[in-house]
Structure 1
Amino acid sequence: MRARAERTFEHLRVLAVEIGERVAGTEEERTAAAYVASQFEAAGYAVTLEEFEVEFRITEGSVSIEGEGAPVPGFPLGESLSGEATGPLVFAGLGEPDELADVDAEGAIVLLDRGVLTFADKARNAERAGAAGVVVVNRNPGDLYGTLGPDHGVSIPVIGVAGRYGQPLRTLAEDRAEVTIRSVVGSEPRTSQNVVARPEDGECRAYLGAHYDSINGPGANDNASGTALLIELAGVSRAEGLADALCFIAFGAEEIGLFGSRAFVRAHDVSGAAFMLNFDMVARIGEQTGDGPRFIGGDEALADLGAAVAADLGYDIPRGAFPRNASSDHASFSEAGVPAVTVHSGGAEFIHTPQDTIDTVSVEDLAVFLDVSIALLRRLVDERIR
């Protein structure tokens, strides 16, 4: 098993290090697709690239400080408007009306801490106080992703920045330093692709999948790890005579809305499939409450079976769920009536950030999920296909 795990980790390294960030519709995503296709072909499968169109949302934000070097990067809050504004930077705590009344916010860029109030309430309060723009600082060092929500009524640019920039910006606010915030929100059409590996007769009686794109970083755990495991399972299935029943799909454009799996389900009748196993983050076992290893899916019986198989091997991987507003490609198959589950290690501290690198994952954690996944696949083929 160690040799298999190291071989799998090498696939992870190629995707996350040699290719790097693999954003939907980019040349790097296409390079990753070609790599996955070559590995499936080497294992003896018939491989096709199935292209589909996506509307890629562009969100870029920054805070530029006169004479202070490179801009501070940020992200426009969801549903906010594009725009640019320049003014003195002032700090107004959490954005309560009385806090804003204590600073001269007229024409200013208001710096606010995350917490207590909704993002929309913070922005509305600041705009009522005369602010030209708003910068919200995250509570933790990582990037801030959030939304104003629908019908927010805010007409000034609002961006979020990582918590690590909070203290330097507060220091600048003490001197009312002149800053410019920039928010760009839009979309553009892009082409992505799924990599589909089929047995020689082309019949898919069950599916295994993983998304190979990433966002805001090299995506070592999310999801070079799942893609690497998928490649290894394809080879194991061929070696053990399981491949005549299985199709393997590396999905593109998952990070921007499950586009790859949805495109596949639209293009193919999957309703008769015995099961679908999806692998999303399998190389960093989480230790925080609610972020541990788990089987996640629309099919509780399949998730419970996975937990039982893991327990037989000495691993505690229970049935669980993603955090609110998170999902993965199993959902597209569940909606089409296929028993589906995502195999997930947790360990989400660095996902969607430049810190999701090969240095934050381990071959030992990957080996656990390779061991469990092979055992689960063997059992499912025996019980549901043969």
Structure 2
Amino acid sequence: MPHRLALLGVLAALSLLVAPSAPAVTSAQCDAQVNDTPSKLIPCIQTDDLWAHMQAFQAIADANPGPDGHPSRNSGEPGYKASADYVASVMKAAGYDVTLQKYKFLYYAFTGIPAFSEVSPAAHNYVLNNDWGPGQSTGVANAQLQPAGGIVLPPTPTSTSTSGCTSGDFTGFAAGRIALIQRGGCNFGVKIQNAQAAGASGVIIFNEGNPGRTDLLVGSIVDAAGTPFVPTIPVAFTTFAIGQDLFNQYQQGPAPTMNISVQAIVDPNRDDWNVIAESKGGDKNHVVVVDAHLDAIYGAGMLDNASGSATILDIAQMMKNVNPLNKLRFIWFGGEELGILGSAYYVNNLSSNELSHIGYDLDADVTATPNYIIGVLDPAAPDFFGGQVTNTFPNRVYKASTIARDQAVTYFNSIGKNHEFLSPTGTDAISFNQVGVPASGLLTGQDCCKSQHEVDLFGGFLGNYEGNIPSFDGGCVDNAFLWCDNLSNNDPQVLTFMSKAFASMVVQMAFDTKVMSASNSVVYKKKLPIASDVGRHPSK
């Protein structure tokens, strides 16, 4: 993906920032003083305090296993509610006005280890997370395979397959069989709905085979309108090579008999919460939102995103004595991993008048990656996951978002660190951008793969951002059934310097006089759809 090097030299604004060699201050001093400038606040963001919050989140996960028996802070589970209660108690003790905003969502959780195998004629068990991955579905199928129509083999140089996208692709399909479908042309959920209508007992979706579309891809299951749903037949996603092999076996005969088993709990009306904490001071007509998502995706969720949650929690504590010019609204969102549910719900339930008073959003989404990058959110920048500039927001968003973005750049220059600009896609900041609120924020990367260019910028090594994890294509965060996004998946020193950088942004935005005029006092209002790429997995 394209990157931008950090600016050379030290800007005049650096005089506002604390020097790296500033004398240490004690926790007691930090607790008592008014940390209303970067030079006061930044030294008070300290590793021990940040790590104490991280340990608390890990302890909560350990004490609240999910349906699979592993530590969990996933939305809709006791570990998430305990995390929300912990944040609320800390913020109340610090003197903030705290509310828990409840909403409902479609809950899904695996209850066992899914299985996918060829039973005959060539018995073979496929390796979970390597050969295949389960779609969010439920059921067991043991039947012969039958390809849907529209499969394009060999694949064309660009995507042309529309396999399974129409009911006509299932003409002559034998009810009870498992449908083999190629990726391409429509949402995965549409393919699955067509297969189920034709009587399929299960579905296998294989990658299309064009350049960049050959490896395992576990997609989000949404219908034609982008609404998530859970099929009542099991769904297996697999690689192009495996799909092609199964297709060839069918063509040569006999049709292979396959087994797919996906066991899960489904609750279409599960409770979840956003934690909202406001400063008592500050102009209620000039609000700066400071957010992180509180939920995990597979397990304890310590890197993604206990790290960002700890970052803003510690900053809020250190700013408890500050009387800001702009009201600060700290929010810990739920459901981000499921399609930015919490932030979409929050924004959708603001009146146009309430929305017009929000001048800016600052988002902390992953701040402690061991093999880190330094990503500064910019709505005009490429997507961290896809490397393309694809977002279109109201015009006011782009220029105004540079206010805090440039504050971050200035701070990183002051401590001799490079940066790159990245899109807010996949973060809660995009919920604000989409309704006309400018935003920036920080992230340090997750999963795979760190490029040579990023190694040149930030050090570290090629491969997984999360460290030396035995998976080049993914990490602990977004791979189901690894359960390794624990404290050990975080670097406390990275957490510290990134939290200091974020603190410099928050305290400057707390007193910024340009924020409302730069965003033209937001009046744009539209209802946000549920994100179709749920949990950052493509939906087609």
Q: 2:74 aligns with which of 4, 7, 23?
A: 23
Give the match's secondary structure for 1:227: helix
User: Residues 1-386 of structure 1 correspond to what in structure 2 (within 5 A)?
Assistant: 1=43, 4-19=46-61, 20-51=71-102, 53-58=103-108, 62-63=114-115, 74-76=133-135, 84-87=140-143, 133-136=202-205, 144-147=218-221, 150=224, 157=233, 159-160=235-236, 179-182=259-262, 188-200=268-280, 204=284, 205-239=287-321, 241-242=323-324, 245-265=327-347, 266-267=349-350, 269-284=354-369, 293-297=375-379, 298-299=397-398, 300-302=401-403, 303-322=405-424, 326-349=425-448, 350=475, 351-353=477-479, 354-384=483-513
Change in CA separation of 1:365 and 1:160 when aligned onto 2, cut-off 3 Å: farther
Change in CA separation of 1:2 and 1:348 when aligned onto 2, cut-off 3 Å: farther
Which residue of the partner structure matches residue 466 of structure 2? Answer: none
2-structure distance, mates of 1:50, 1:150: 30
Which residue of the partner structure matches residue 102 of structure 1? Answer: none
Change in CA separation of 1:162 and 1:54 when aligned onto 2, cut-off 3 Å: farther
Q: Which has the higher helix share?
A: 1
8 Å CA contact 1:307, 1:318 repeated in 2: no
2-structure distance, mates of 1:64, 1:116: 22
Most deviating of 5-14 and 220-229: 5-14
Deviation at 1:57, TM superposition (A): 4.8
8 Å CA contact 1:62, 1:183 repeated in 2: yes
8 Å CA contact 1:207, 1:248 repeated in 2: yes
Change in CA separation of 1:292 and 1:133 when aligned onto 2, cut-off 3 Å: farther
What amino acid does structure 2 have at the position aligned with 1:248?
Answer: F
Change in CA separation of 1:243 and 1:367 when aligned onto 2, cut-off 3 Å: farther
Deviation at 1:285, TM superposition (A): 5.9
The alignment covers a number of residue pairs equal to 361
Change in CA separation of 1:264 and 1:97 when aligned onto 2, cut-off 3 Å: closer
Most deviating of 33-42 and 133-142: 133-142
Change in CA separation of 1:231 and 1:182 when aligned onto 2, cut-off 3 Å: closer
Deviation at 1:43, TM superposition (A): 1.8
Give the match's secondary structure for 1:383: coil
What amino acid does structure 1 have at the position aligned with 2:115?
Answer: V
Change in CA separation of 1:111 and 1:13 when aligned onto 2, cut-off 3 Å: farther
8 Å CA contact 2:45, 2:500 repeated in 1: no
Most deviating of 24-33 and 305-314: 305-314
Change in CA separation of 1:202 and 1:56 when aligned onto 2, cut-off 3 Å: farther
Which residue of the partner structure matches residue 163 of structure 2? Answer: none
Give the match's secondary structure for 1:36: helix
Deviation at 1:180, TM superposition (A): 4.0
Deviation at 1:372, TM superposition (A): 0.8
1-structure distance, mates of 2:58, 2:215: 23
Change in CA separation of 1:47 and 1:157 when aligned onto 2, cut-off 3 Å: closer
2-structure distance, mates of 1:372, 1:84: 49
What amino acid does structure 2 have at the position aligned with 1:193?
Answer: W
Change in CA separation of 1:362 and 1:272 when aligned onto 2, cut-off 3 Å: same
8 Å CA contact 1:217, 1:352 repeated in 2: no
8 Å CA contact 1:254, 1:261 repeated in 2: yes
8 Å CA contact 2:44, 2:318 repeated in 1: no
Deviation at 1:194, TM superposition (A): 1.7
TM-score w.r.t. length of structure 1: 0.72
8 Å CA contact 1:54, 1:259 repeated in 2: no
Instruction: Give unmatched runs, 5+ long, in structure 1.
Output: 100-104
8 Å CA contact 1:285, 1:293 repeated in 2: no
1:161-185 alpha-carbon deviations (Å, 9 max, x no partner): 588xx8xx99xx99x6762444879
1-structure distance, mates of 2:232, 2:499: 49
Give the match's secondary structure for 2:319: helix
Q: Which has the higher strand share?
A: 1
Deviation at 1:25, TM superposition (A): 2.2
Instruction: Give unmatched runs, 5+ long, in structure 2.
Output: 1-42, 62-70, 156-172, 208-212, 226-230, 380-396, 449-474, 516-540
8 Å CA contact 1:135, 1:160 repeated in 2: yes
8 Å CA contact 2:91, 2:98 repeated in 1: yes
What amino acid does structure 2 have at the position aligned with 1:376?
Answer: M
What amino acid does structure 2 have at the position aligned with 1:6?
Answer: D
Give the match's secondary structure for 1:245: strand
1-structure distance, mates of 2:375, 2:184: 30
Deviation at 1:203, TM superposition (A): 5.5
Q: Percent identity?
A: 21
